[in-house]
Amino acid sequence: MLKKEELISSLQEALRTEEAAIPLYTKFVGSTLFLSGFSEENISRIERILHELNKDSCQHAAKFERLISQIENGDKDAY
Amino acid sequence: MNNKTETSKNMIRSLVAVLLIFIAVYFVLRALFITYAQYGRIEKVLGVLFFLSEAYVMFHAFGYFMGIYRLNKKGLAEPETTVLKEYPHVSILIPARHEPKEILESTVTSCYNLDYPAKAIYILDDSSEQEYKDQARAIAKKFNCKLFRREERHGAKAGVINDCLKNIDSKYIAIFDVDQNPISGFLTKTVSMLESDSKLAFIQTPQYYSNLHTSRVARAANMQQAAFYETVCEAKSASDAMMCCGTNVVLRKEALDDVGGLDESTVTEDFATSLQFHLKGWKSLYYNHIGTFGQGPENLGVYLSQQNRWANGNVAVLKKVILKLLKNPLALRPVQWWEYFITGSYYLIGWAFLFLMFCPIAYIFFDIPSFFMHPAVYAMAFVPYFILSLTIFYISMKGRNYNTKDIFKGQMLFLISLPTYLAGSLAGLLGFKKGFKITAKKCSQHIPYRALWPQLFIWGLNLSAITWGVNRFVYDRSPAVLFNMAWILYHFVLLSSVFYFNEEILEKSKIRSSR
């Protein structure tokens, strides 16, 4: 069982780590592709994958934020 | 090492050796021609200045290519590392002043996500405006990191770091500029290197700009950084003469305490402090793996003010280097003095290029020769050097996956920076300490052309010389006119890039206004 504060803290930690960091890392990786020596086709493929990863992370972050808000405003104190 | 790599290294070494011979032959010939030239006083003065300018440029070229030679001879050994059983505490310092919230938050996010367990993050907020103070406080609270502020500002970045260090007891100090984002393994790797050698004062890693696709200036500036961080720094590290670059660096607190903290007397506190480290017998290391992603200057104004600061600071440190050398020549090894001198004097190259650009123009307009060599001899002695030096440079950079177009853009940006080098180096020589100007991270902005008047003036002068030179060549079809015109045209083409780097902004403005 998790108390409300503990759950919120875990969700906020997830926001600070994975969901905030992944968009940064995908941007970094994307900026190095022109130095990779990969073919244009592979570069495009990697860029598409990174874009999807970035999009997913942004969606996860939005979901986490909604969840945190829901839990904060809810009456339940044990999860 | 495979055969292909070994063959490539041998080829580069051979080319560099040939190049050094070309340089020597060219100089001997030039010296002879100047000595025995039968010209008037003004021509001789101009001739000597022109020769000294060439010598200066070739001196720096010699330093650069000797570095390439050394690297291709013995290679750069992978730094020793220790498998960490314990994790010494690292304090991560992020100096900031009036930084946009998203920039600061990205850096704190990256530092927060470093996979190193024993760390503390400090935002060193020197902001005076309430909006930025509040943002920094909010970010510090969100990431549970420490916020350091001081009552009195002094010494800009070096000053705030020194003030913060008084309260820190960590074994290592990592410094990141506010726009530099480390990847997760940065500290684990660098600390393991520091743990393997107790005499290492710091490990420096490269800067890399991640906004290459959004700004022409950032992309070309990254190319200039690449030439420095790929080859120059590796060569310096191999000679234990690597300088601290002020960001993306991990320092040993004991070494910092030993030299009294960062040197606040110049605007390039990192370079000045490196000298203190080496004078006290500490070692330094460069680890050429990108562990941090940053933001390059997005417009010419930001870029040129950055270059001005570096020119000012480096020349100020050069004065210290010369004084220390004269006082105690045995304090460093010869190759260390050499590396410090090369770096400290680099930005004086603006003065050399001033004469190199001016003298052909003086010949075309006023028929004042400054180059006392028969054109045929010049063609045989100089042209091979010029072509070979460019070839080696391009080969060495292409060998690290940089493309020709980007390398050329880096060269264009270099030439339009020369007036800035002149101004900055003069201020450094005269002891004017220019205030630390923070590199703005705003969206690209058009720079009014009046701010670029030195570049435009030289560009206009070259254009006028081309016009006059074409006219002159109709009546005077001498090889001397042709060679001088070739140089003027070369400078003109490179200087025209001022429109390329600035016009990008105008295009965006037109798109916005047409909607």
What ranges do the domains of chain A cover? 4-73
Which chain B positions have a beta carbon within 8 Å of A21's beta carbon?
Answer: 109-110, 112-113, 184
Smallest CA–CA separation between A54 and chain B, in Å?
15
With CA atoms as reference, the chain B residue closest to A19 would be B109
- How far apart are alpha carbons B118 and B89 in whole angstroms? 5
SS3 assignment, position B307: helix
- How far apart are alpha carbons B248 and B446 in whole angstroms? 30
Task: Flag whether residue B109 sits within 8 Å of chain A, measured between CB atoms.
Answer: yes
Provide the residue ranges of all domains of chain B, joining segments of one domain with +: 3-75+347-514
Q: What is the pLDDT of residue B512?
A: 38
Q: What is the pLDDT of residue B276?
A: 96
SS3 assignment, position B144: coil
Q: Which residue in B135, B144, B146, B45 sits closest to B91, CA to CA?
A: B146
Helices and strands of chain B, counted as H and E runs: 19, 9
In chain B, % helix, strand, coil (3-state, to 5) comes to 65, 10, 30
Q: What is the pLDDT of residue B335?
A: 92
SS3 assignment, position B388: helix
With CA atoms as reference, the chain B residue closest to A27 would be B210
A63: Cα within 13 Å, side-chain hemisphere: 8
Which member of B113, B181, B401 has the closest CB to residue A37? B401
Smallest CA–CA separation between B401 and chain A, in Å?
5
Tokens of B189: 């790797």
Chains A and B form CB pairs within 8 A to the count of 42
Residues of chain B numbered 263-292 and touching chain A (CB < 8 Å):
290
Which chain A positions have a beta carbon within 8 Å of B294's beta carbon?
Answer: none
B181: Cα within 13 Å, side-chain hemisphere: 27
Tokens of B264: 């606040």
Smallest CA–CA separation between B402 and chain A, in Å?
6
pTM, to two decimals: 0.88
Check CB contact under 8 Å for B109 and A36: no
Smallest CA–CA separation between B110 and chain A, in Å?
6
Contact B298, B221 (CB under 8 A): no
Query: In the structure, what pLDDT confidence band is assigned to residue A3 with cuts at 50, 70 and 90?
Result: confident
Q: Indicate the length of chain A as a whole number.
A: 79
SS3 assignment, position B259: coil
Tokens of B70: 């050394």
Contact B122, B94 (CB under 8 A): yes
Check CB contact under 8 Å for B112 and A28: no
Best B101, B181, B229 residue to mutate vs chain A (most A CBs within 10 Å) = B181
Smallest CA–CA separation between A75 and chain B, in Å?
24
Q: What is the pLDDT of residue B510?
A: 40
Task: Flag whether residue B181 sits within 8 Å of chain A, measured between CB atoms.
Answer: yes
Q: What is the pLDDT of residue B436?
A: 41
With CA atoms as reference, the chain B residue closest to A14 would be B113
**First CA to last CA distance, chain A:** 5
Q: What is the pLDDT of residue B36?
A: 82
Task: Flag whether residue A37 sits within 8 Å of chain B, measured between CB atoms.
Answer: yes
Instruction: List per-residue pLDDT tens for chain B, 515 residues long.
Output: 466 677 878 888 888 889 888 888 888 888 888 888 777 888 888 888 888 999 999 889 888 888 888 887 766 667 777 778 889 999 999 999 999 999 999 999 999 999 999 999 999 999 999 999 999 999 999 999 999 999 888 888 999 999 999 999 999 999 999 999 999 999 999 999 999 999 999 999 999 988 887 889 999 998 888 889 988 999 999 889 999 999 999 999 999 999 999 999 888 889 999 999 999 999 999 999 999 999 889 888 889 999 999 999 999 999 999 999 999 999 999 999 999 999 999 999 999 999 899 999 999 999 888 777 777 888 888 888 889 988 988 888 888 888 888 899 999 999 999 999 999 999 999 988 764 454 444 555 678 888 899 999 999 999 999 999 999 988 888 888 998 999 999 999 999 999 999 876 444 444 333 33
Task: Flag whether residue B229 sits within 8 Å of chain A, measured between CB atoms.
Answer: no
Task: Flag whether residue A39 sits within 8 Å of chain B, measured between CB atoms.
Answer: no
Contact B358, B14 (CB under 8 A): no
- How far apart are alpha carbons B103 and B95 in whole angstroms? 12
- How far apart are alpha carbons B5 and B16 in whole angstroms? 16
Q: Tokens 């570049």 — which residue?
A: B455
